[in-house]
């Protein structure tokens, strides 16, 4: 088994067996994080550059820890402290970094398509760590891994994705990823925050008529973060209203399958999209997601840089 | 009164499209098929109304009324508005949110519903605001409005100028299956106009409102509804242009419905001749050509509803120049007689009137149990004497305001009985 691409930009590029390969590899790497000495020499002598054009706590530390555990040499560029603020274009920044011969870039950008753009410029591998509203493939893989640890078969699994789907790169990647594995996806959101055209490569994707329909007998519930700014652009009336009609409450959760897995990509707005008590009472897999995130990112870097070694 | 029998009336039922002479039996406020054992046997328990030679309609519903409470009780209160409605044959009215405070919150919606409940007259269905304060800047708490009892949303009088806000309002309201009623108008193009732009505005030397300001507004709103695949109801259609846009939109499957008001098929801009402020409203009275188009659209089904846009203003407010007087006329007490003229002129049937004034408003607003005279429906009934001749005088107006261009008008056809939930509110 191997993966025949230099980059991980979009889940659309991955077949079901590719996804399984990433997840199985991540399961192996997860063991390293559980050891006393959490370090292997797998990527010794390799250079990874993290460029974050958008603030991030979880994803960035997850990638940095993954790199350290694989013994890669890594550096992180924060845009506010870089020459970008002096007016350098994305292309020039990348050409300069490219000249320093890195093996991989990890890119987070507020513009959709940024990781794709960079992958065309550089010979190094590019991992998309979130581009605009487009995709967040490593989040999708860690979500799948978290579910796969509990559920063996994804066929006919009911996955509810609830919240600001229109603006969510997590939703986009998850819809592609879970449906490639045969799951049925139920989307629910204020209709102003639903995607307009729904066509996800032939996957079984449905719009639920109510929150209840979405969560009823669901095996997986993925709650998305709602940003306060959405009210300023008329997508929702107010956070208060959102809380009243689109929050996952314990009552709603009780309608899901008894063994339901509740996910949230973070950061969580407690008591806006999800009742704080659901998290406090340990009824979510949110921290499992974060734990698996490191393993998934180790697997991604290992697989992509490994491909470089064979084909570079 | 738990048992009521309406005997020998000609019953117009728009749901089954029937016009049959039959009795209507109402028990505990609900219309029931006549029991096999005739209820007339135990006299005294059953109240009987003779509707010999009269027409029995399902209770009329006016989906576009401005009650001025809270805030402007000197123009109209909920009570006076309801009394005018009863006089005009209505058993349900829907009130627009442009009160003070604006009905953009559950508190105001609940206030209206509670007040109506205490009055115990006819049904009141509040319409909430699309945008907070009708300002067109941010969405009102639409889910909350629905929960409190609002049946629709509208920024009536203040067209939503921002297309993004209007589009997202349509989508967000669709989440709650709440209909949106648009006052479709390009307000920049309307400008400071006070009457229709054309011959009359030139003759009077006042600033006109071009009819295309309405057409453009209608086109935009219909396009938004079509693109997003959601429902839209266009208020007070008055131009040939709007009628045509809606007709075409319906043809291609856009989920649009619309209403017109009796004054648009009864009057033209000629009524403004004497700078008559009681003929000033928005949209304004248009031309003969527009009037004809509206009548045709009522006939061919393009127009779904006749609503009044009942807009009371005090005598002092209307007693001013055409420029300064406020827009709007009262309409609850003249709506049915004006519509009956279309019947007397053989333009539409009585069944069509029942559709336009009862069934369709109930359907558009998802008001269940109303709009038909059949088994299981609520006992809201309007009984009409088609041939009764009468004159509309200012003295008889039940509304607190008297701003009607129809004062002095002679009519044929008048409401004889009105009952809501089986309770008789008007008897001859």
Check which CATH number belongs to the domain holding B41 and give it: 2.30.40.10
Query: Residue-wise over A88-110: b if at least 16 C-beta within 10 A, else e?
Result: eebeebbeebbeeebbbbbbbbe
- pLDDT band of residue A1 (cuts 50, 70, 90) is low
Q: Are residues B39 and B179 in the same domain?
A: no
Nearest CA-CA partner of A72 in A293, A300, A290:
A300
pLDDT given at position B40 = 54
CA atoms within 13 A on the CB side of B407: 17
Q: Which stretch of A136-140, A232-236, B196-200 has the lowest confidence by average pLDDT?
A: A232-236
Q: In this predicted structure, what is the pLDDT of residue B414?
A: 97
Residue B332 falls within a domain, yes or no?
yes
Nearest-CA distance from B308 to chain A in Å? 30
Residue in chain B closest to A194 (alpha carbons) equals B171
Distance between CA atoms of B229 and B248, rounded to whole angstroms? 16
pLDDT of the residue at B45: 74
The answer to whether residue B123 sits within a structural domain is: yes
Asked if pLDDT for residue A186 goes beyond 90, the answer is: yes
Q: For residue B93, is it within any domain?
A: yes
Question: Same structural domain for residues B172 and B28?
Answer: no
What are A189-199's pLDDT values in tens digits?
Answer: 999 999 987 77
Q: Is the Cβ of A102 closer than 8 Å to some Cβ of chain B?
A: no
User: Does A190 sit within 8 Å of B172, measured CB to CB?
Assistant: yes
Sheet containing strand A47-52, edge to edge, reads A73-78, A47-52, A104-109, A125-131
Query: Any chain A CB within 8 A of the CB of B230?
Result: yes
Residues B112, B37, single domain; the answer is: no
B283: left (phi over 0), alpha (psi -120 to 50) or beta: beta
Q: Which residue has the tokens 């402007």?
A: B72
Answer yes or no: are the C-beta atoms of B241 and B212 closer than 8 Å: yes
The alpha carbon of residue A228 is apart from the nearest alpha carbon of chain B, in Å, by 13
Banded model confidence at residue A57, pLDDT cuts 50, 70, 90: confident
The confidence score (pLDDT) of residue B1 equals 54
DSSP tag of B250: H
The span from the first CA to the last CA of chain B, in angstroms, equals 18
- Interface probe, candidates A167, A190, A240, chain B, greatest B C-beta count within 10 A: A190
Window 147-206 of B: residues touching A by CB (8 A cutoff) are 162, 164-165, 168-169, 171-172, 174-176
pLDDT at A310 over 80: no
- Mean pLDDT score across all residues of chain A: 94
Based on the domain organization, do B334 and B403 belong to the same domain? no
**Residue B339: predicted pLDDT:** 98
Whether A312 shows a pLDDT value over 80: the answer reads no
Sequence-ordered strand ranges (E) for B152-283: 152-154, 180-182, 195-196, 208-209, 232-234, 256-260
Does residue B21 belong to any structural domain of this protein? yes
Give chain B positions within 8 Å (CB) of A240. 141
Taking the CA atoms of residue A83, residue A85, residue A87 and residue A93 in that order, the dihedral angle to the nearest 10 degrees is 40
My answer on whether B131 and B168 are in the same domain is: yes
Q: What is the mean pLDDT of residues A231-249?
A: 95
Which of chain B's residues have a Cβ under 8 Å away from the Cβ of A247? none
Residues B235 and B221 in one domain: yes
Listed in sequence order, the residues at least 6 apart from B135 whose beta carbon sits closer than 8 Å to its beta carbon are: B158
b/e map of B251-274 (b: 16 or more CB within 10 Å)?
A: eeebbbbbbbbbbbbbbbbebbee
CATH number at residue B243: 3.20.20.140
Mean pLDDT of A280-284: 95
Under the banding of pLDDT at 50, 70 and 90, the label for residue A219 is very high
**Torsion from C-alpha of A214, A215, A221, A224, nearest 10 degrees:** 60
Chain B interface disruption, residue of A164, A165, A188, A191, most B CBs within 10 A: A191
Query: Which of A286, A259, A15, A252 has its CA nearest to residue A151?
Result: A259
The answer to whether residue B131 is domain-embedded is yes
Do B218 and B356 fall into the same domain? yes
B38 Cβ contact partners less than 8 Å away, ≥ 6 residues apart:
none
Residue numbers in A near B141 (CB within 8 A): 237-238, 240-241
Which residue among A236, A240, A244 places its CB closest to the CB of B172? A236
- The rounded distance, in Å, linking the Cα atoms of B57 and B55 is 6
Measured on CA atoms in the order B128, B133, B139, B142, is the torsion positive or negative?
negative
Under 8 Å CB pairs connecting chains A and B tally to: 52
Instruction: Note whether residue B371 is domain-resident.
Output: no
Put simply, the answer to whether B139 touches A245 (Cβ < 8 Å) is: no
Task: Report d(CA B29, CA A93) in Å as an integer.
Answer: 77
DSSP assigned state of B124: E
Phi and psi (nearest 5°) for B210? Answer: -65, 140
What is the rounded CA–CA span in Å between residue A140 and residue A148? Answer: 12
**pLDDT confidence of residue B291:** 98
Give the model's pLDDT for residue B42: 57
Shortest Cα–Cα distance, B269 to chain A (Å): 38
pLDDT at A55: 87
Name B181's Cβ contacts closer than 8 Å, sequence gap at least 6: B63, B64, B127, B152, B153, B154, B156, B233, B234, B235
Return the residue in B164, B172, B176, B228 with the most chain A beta carbons within 10 A, the one to mutate for interface testing: B172
The residue among A272, A259, A247 whose CA lies nearest residue A219 is: A259
Q: Least CA distance to A229: which residue of chain B? A: B138
Separation between Cα atoms, residue A302 and residue A307, nearest integer Å: 8
Say yes or no: B330 and B284 in one domain: yes
Phi, psi for B361 (deg, rounded to 5) = -60, -40
pLDDT of residue B39: 56
Structure tokens at A33: 């994080």
What pLDDT band is residue A307 in, cutting at 50, 70 and 90? confident
pLDDT of residue A87: 79
Residue A181: the pLDDT is 96
Q: What is the model's pLDDT at position A259?
A: 96
Would the CB atoms of A237 and B230 count as touching at under 8 Å?
no
pLDDT reported for residue A232: 85
Q: What is the DSSP letter of B359?
A: I
Q: Tell me the domains of chain A and their CATH numbers.
A: 11-135+290-311 (3.40.50.1370), 137-289 (3.40.50.1370)
**Separation of alpha carbons A179 and A220, rounded Å:** 13
- CA dihedral sign, ordered B58, B64, B65, B71: positive
d(Cα A146, Cα A248) in Å, to the nearest integer? 20
CB-based contact (8 Å) between A222 and chain B?
Answer: no
In percent, the amount of chain A with pLDDT more than 70 equals 96
Helix (H) or strand (E) holding B386: strand B381-391
As for how many domains chain B has, the answer is 2
- For residue A86, pLDDT beyond 90: no
**Residues A62-74: pLDDT tens digits?**
999 999 999 999 9
Q: Domain boundary residue among B313, B335, B364? A: B364
Structural domain of residue B8, as residue ranges? 3-55+378-427
Distance from CA of B71 to the nearest CA of A (A): 25
Q: Of B64, B34, B58, give the one whose Cα is nearest residue B48.
A: B34
Does residue B345 share a domain with residue B230? yes
pLDDT at A80: 72
Burial environment of residue A268 by CB neighbours within 10 A (0 to 12, 13 to 18, 19 or more): middle
**Does B296 share its domain with B348?**
yes
3-state secondary structure chain A: CCCCCCCECCHHHCCHHHHHHHHHHHHHHHHHHCCCCCCCCCCCCCEEEEEECCCCCHHHHHHHHHHHHCCCEEEEEEHHHCHHHHCCCHHHHHHHHHCCCCCEEEEEECCCCHHHHHHHHCCCEEEEEEECCCECHHHHHHHHHHHHCCCCCCCCCEEEEECCCCCCHHHHHHHHHHHHCCCEEEEECCHHHCCCCCCCCCCEEEECCCHHHHHCCCCEEEECCCCHHHHCCCCCCCHHHHHHHHCECHHHHCCCCCCCEEECCCCCCECCCECHHHHHCCCCCHHHHHHHHHHHHHHHHHHHHHHHHHHC
Residue B177 in any domain: the answer is yes
Same domain, residue pair B128 and B271: yes
- Among B364, B392, B410, residue at a domain's last position: B364
Position A273 pLDDT exceeds 60? yes
Do A191 and B140 count as a contact with CB atoms less than 8 A apart?
no
Q: What is the greatest pairwise CA distance in chain A?
A: 56
Can you give the pLDDT at residue B342? 98
CB contact under 8 A, A234 and B143: no
Whether B83 is covered by a domain: the verdict is yes
CB contact under 8 A, B172 and A245: no
Q: What is the pLDDT of residue A231?
A: 84
Q: Which of B140, B144, B169 sits opposite A244 (nearest CB)?
A: B144
What are the CA-CA distances from residue A5 to residues A14, A308, B74 (Å)?
10, 9, 76
Tell whether B30 is within 8 A of chain A (Cβ). Answer: no
| Range with the poorest average pLDDT among A50-59, A206-215, B119-128, B348-357 | A50-59
Residues B399, B350 share a domain: no
| End residue of a domain, out of B326, B342, B364 | B364
Query: What is the structure's pLDDT at B205?
Result: 97
One digit per residue, the tens of pLDDT, for chain B of length 428 reads: 589 999 999 999 999 999 999 999 999 999 998 766 665 545 567 899 999 999 999 999 999 999 999 999 999 999 999 999 999 999 999 999 999 999 999 999 999 999 999 999 999 999 999 999 999 999 999 999 999 999 999 999 999 999 999 999 999 999 999 999 999 999 999 999 999 999 999 999 999 999 999 999 999 999 999 999 999 999 999 999 999 999 999 999 999 999 999 999 999 999 999 999 999 999 999 999 999 999 999 999 999 999 999 999 999 999 999 999 999 999 999 999 999 999 999 999 999 999 999 999 999 999 999 999 999 999 999 999 999 999 999 999 999 999 999 999 999 999 999 999 999 999 97
Chain B residue numbers with beta carbons less than 8 Å from the beta carbon of A191 are 171-172, 174-175, 228, 230
Catalytic residue IDs of B: 309
């Amino acid at each position: 088994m191997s993966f025949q691409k230099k980059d991980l930009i979009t889940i659309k590029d991955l077949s079901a067996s590719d996804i399984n390969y990433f997840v199985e590899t991540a399961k192996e790497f997860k063991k390293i994080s559980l050891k006393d000495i959490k370090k292997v020499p797998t990527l010794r002598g390799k250079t990874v550059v993290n460029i974050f054009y958008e603030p991030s706590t979880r994803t960035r530390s997850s990638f940095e820890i993954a790199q350290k555990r694989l013994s890669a040499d890594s550096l992180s560029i924060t845009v506010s402290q870089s020459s970008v603020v002096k007016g350098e274009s994305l292309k020039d920044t990348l050409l300069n970094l490219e000249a320093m011969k890195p093996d991989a870039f990890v890119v987070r950008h507020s513009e959709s398509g940024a990781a794709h753009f960079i992958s065309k410029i550089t010979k190094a591998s590019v991992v998309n760590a979130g581009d605009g509203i487009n995709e967040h493939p490593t989040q999708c893989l860690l979500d799948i891994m978290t579910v796969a640890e509990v559920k063996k078969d994804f066929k006919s699994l009911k996955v509810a994705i609830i919240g600001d789907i229109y603006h969510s790169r997590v939703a986009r990647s998850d819809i592609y990823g879970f449906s490639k594995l045969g799951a049925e996806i139920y989307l629910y959101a204020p209709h102003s925050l639903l995607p307009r055209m729904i066509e996800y490569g032939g996957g079984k994707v449905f719009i639920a008529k109510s929150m209840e329909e979405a969560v009823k007998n669901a095996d997986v519930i993925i709650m998305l973060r709602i940003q306060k700014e959405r009210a300023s652009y008329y997508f929702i009336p107010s956070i208060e209203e959102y809380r009243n009609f689109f929050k996952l409450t314990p009552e709603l959760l009780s309608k899901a399958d008894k063994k339901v897995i509740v996910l949230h990509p973070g950061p969580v707005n407690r008591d806006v999209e999800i009742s704080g008590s659901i998290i406090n009472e340990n009824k979510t897999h949110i921290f499992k997601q974060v734990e698996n995130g490191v393993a998934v990112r180790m697997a991604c870097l290992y697989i992509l840089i490994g491909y470089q070694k064979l084909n570079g | 009164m738990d048992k009521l029998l309406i005997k020998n009336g000609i019953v117009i039922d728009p749901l089954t499209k029937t016009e049959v002479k039959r009795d209507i039996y109402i028990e505990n406020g609900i219309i029931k098929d006549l029991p096999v054992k005739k209820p007339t046997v135990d006299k005294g328990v059953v109240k009987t109304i003779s509707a010999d030679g009269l027409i029995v309609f399902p209770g009329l519903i006016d989906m576009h009324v401005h009650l001025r409470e809270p805030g402007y009780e000197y123009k109209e209160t909920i009570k006076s508005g309801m009394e005018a409605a009863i006089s005009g044959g209505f058993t349900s009215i829907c009130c627009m949110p442009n009160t003070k405070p604006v009905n953009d919150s559950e508190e105001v919606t609940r206030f209206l519903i509670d007040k109506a409940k205490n009055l115990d007259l006819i049904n009141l269905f509040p319409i909430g605001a699309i945008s907070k304060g009708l300002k067109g800047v941010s969405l009102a708490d639409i889910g909350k409005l629905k929960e409190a009892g609002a049946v629709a949303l509208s920024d009536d009088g203040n067209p939503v100028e921002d297309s993004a806000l209007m589009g997202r309002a349509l989508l967000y309201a669709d989440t709650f299956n709440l209909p949106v009623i648009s006052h479709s108008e390009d307000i920049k193009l309307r400008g400071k106009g006070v009457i229709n732009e054309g011959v009359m505005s030139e003759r009077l030397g006042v600033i006109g409102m071009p009819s295309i300001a309405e057409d453009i507004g209608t086109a935009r709103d219909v396009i938004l509804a079509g693109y997003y695949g959601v429902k839209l109801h266009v208020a007070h259609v008055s131009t040939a242009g709007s009628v045509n846009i809606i007709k075409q939109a319906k043809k291609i499957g856009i989920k649009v419905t619309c209403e017109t008001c009796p004054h648009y098929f009864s009057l033209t801009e000629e009524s403004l001749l004497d700078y008559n402020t009681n003929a000033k409203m928005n949209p304004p009275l248009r031309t003969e050509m527009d009037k004809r188009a509206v009548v045709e659209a009522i006939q061919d089904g393009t127009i779904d509803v006749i609503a009044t846009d009942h807009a009371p203003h005090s005598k002092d407010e209307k007693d001013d120049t055409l420029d300064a007087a406020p827009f709007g006329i009262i309409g609850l007490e003249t709506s049915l007689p004006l519509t009956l003229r279309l019947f007397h002129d053989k333009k539409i049937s009585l069944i069509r009137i029942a559709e336009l004034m009862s069934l369709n408003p109930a359907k558009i607003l998802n008001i269940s149990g109303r709009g038909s005279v059949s088994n299981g429906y609520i006992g809201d009934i309007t009984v009409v004497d088609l041939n009764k001749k009468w004159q509309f005088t200012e003295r008889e107006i039940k509304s607190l305001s008297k701003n009607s261009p129809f004062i002095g008008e002679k009519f044929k056809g008048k409401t004889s009985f009105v009952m809501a939930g089986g309770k008789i509110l008007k008897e001859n």
